[in-house]
C-alpha cells in the first residue's frame, strides 16, 4: 500500500492519498481545491490512476478538489450517501466496503460534527489506520454548532466507533492546527482535553457548549460549493477568491 499525508495550509486540511501498489489504483480522501495540481503531480510521479475522491463530509472551511479532479482524471466522486447532490457518483454507507484495488476501506457513520459525517478505517495486516475527518482531531474534536452538529451525537460516535478500537489504532485527522500529524486511540482516550480521562457525556456537552467559537469564514460559500462537488458559487468574497483558481471560473 502507498500512503501519503498531504497538507493545505490555509484551512490546515489533511488530504490522504491511498493506493494499491499491485494495481496502481488510488483514492484521495478530502482533497482541497487549491492543491489539485500538487495532487495530480504526485499521482503522475507515482504512476498511479485516481479512481475516486472520497469525502468524509460536506466541508465548511474549504472547497473540495473533487470536481476538478474528476474533470482532469475521469475519477468518481464519493460522498456519504445521505448527502443528496447530483454531482455525486458513489454513495458511501457504513457496512458497505469501499475498495481501492485490493485495499478495503470500511466507512464508519460518525455523526455529530455534521449529521452525515463518515470516518474511514483500513484494517491492514500490520496496522489499523483510522481517518477520522473532522469528528476527532488530535487533542481536540470537530465543532458541533453548525451543519446539524450535535455534541451528544459526536460523543457517542467517538466512544462507540473510535474508542472501541484497539489502543494502537493510528488516528489520522482531517485537520491539525499545531503541526501534529498522527495520534492513536490510546493517546486520545488518555489525553484529549474534551474527551479523554473518562469524561462523561454531560461534561463533553458542557465543554462544547462553552467554546464560543468564531463564525467560519468560508462556510457561506464552502457548503453550497461542496454540495456541487467543489464548484465555486457566486458569493465567494473578493478577499477569498484565491479559493477559486482562474481556470475554475467562468
d(CA 69, CA 96): 24
- In this prediction, residue 248 carries a pLDDT of 44
What structural domains does the chain harbor?
Answer: 2-240 (3.60.15.10)
Q: Is 248 exposed, middle or buried (0-12, 13-18, 19+ CB in 10 A)?
A: middle
For 61-112, what is each residue's pLDDT tens digit? 999 999 999 999 999 999 999 999 999 999 999 999 999 999 999 999 999 9
All 3 cell numbers of residue 226?
461542496
For 125-156, what is each residue's pLDDT tens digit? 889 999 999 999 999 999 999 989 999 999 99
When pLDDT is averaged across residues 7-26 and rounded to a whole number, the result is 97
Q: Which residues pair with 54 in a beta bridge?
A: 29, 78
**How does the average pLDDT of the chain come out, rounded?**
95
All 3 cell numbers of residue 212?
464560543
Dihedral sign for Cα atoms in the order 207, 211, 212, 218: negative
Q: Are 26 and 78 in contact (CB under 8 A)?
A: no
pLDDT beyond 60 at 246:
no
Indicate whether this model's pTM tops 0.75.
yes
- Pick from 37, 36, 17: nearest CA to 27: 17
Cβ–Cβ contacts within 10 Å for residue 200, how many?
A: 9
Q: Is 198 exposed, middle or buried (0-12, 13-18, 19+ CB in 10 A)?
A: exposed
Amino acid at each position: 500500500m502507498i500512503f501519503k499525508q498531504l497538507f493545505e495550509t490555509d484551512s490546515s486540511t489533511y488530504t490522504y492519498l491511498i493506493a494499491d501498489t499491485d494495481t496502481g489504483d488510488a483514492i484521495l480522501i478530502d482533497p482541497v481545491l487549491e492543491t489539485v495540481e500538487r495532487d495530480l503531480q504526485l499521482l503522475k510521479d507515482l504512476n498511479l490512476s485516481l479512481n475516486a475522491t472520497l469525502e468524509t463530509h460536506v466541508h465548511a472551511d474549504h472547497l473540495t478538489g473533487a470536481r476538478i479532479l474528476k474533470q482532469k482524471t475521469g475519477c468518481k466522486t464519493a460522498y456519504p450517501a445521505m448527502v443528496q447532490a447530483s454531482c455525486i457518483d458513489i454513495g458511501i454507507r457504513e457496512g458497505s466496503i469501499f475498495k481501492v484495488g485490493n485495499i478495503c476501506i470500511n466507512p464508519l457513520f460518525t455523526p455529530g460534527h455534521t449529521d452525515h459525517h463518515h470516518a474511514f478505517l483500513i484494517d491492514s495486516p500490520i496496522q489499523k489506520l483510522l481517518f477520522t475527518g473532522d469528528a476527532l482531531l488530535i487533542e481536540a474534536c470537530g465543532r458541533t454548532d453548525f451543519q446539524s452538529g450535535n455534541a451528544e451525537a459526536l460523543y457517542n460516535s467517538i466512544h462507540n466507533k473510535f474508542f472501541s478500537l484497539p489502543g494502537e489504532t493510528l488516528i489520522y485527522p482531517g485537520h491539525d492546527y499545531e503541526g501534529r500529524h498522527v495520534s492513536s486511540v490510546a493517546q486520545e482516550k488518555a489525553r484529549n482535553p474534551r474527551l479523554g480521562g473518562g469524561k462523561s457525556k454531560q461534561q463533553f456537552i458542557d465543554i462544547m457548549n462553552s467554546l464560543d467559537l468564531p463564525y467560519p469564514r468560508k462556510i457561506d460559500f464552502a457548503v453550497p460549493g461542496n454540495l456541487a462537488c467543489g464548484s465555486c458559487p457566486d458569493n465567494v468574497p473578493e478577499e477569498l477568491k484565491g479559493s477559486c483558481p482562474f481556470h475554475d471560473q467562468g
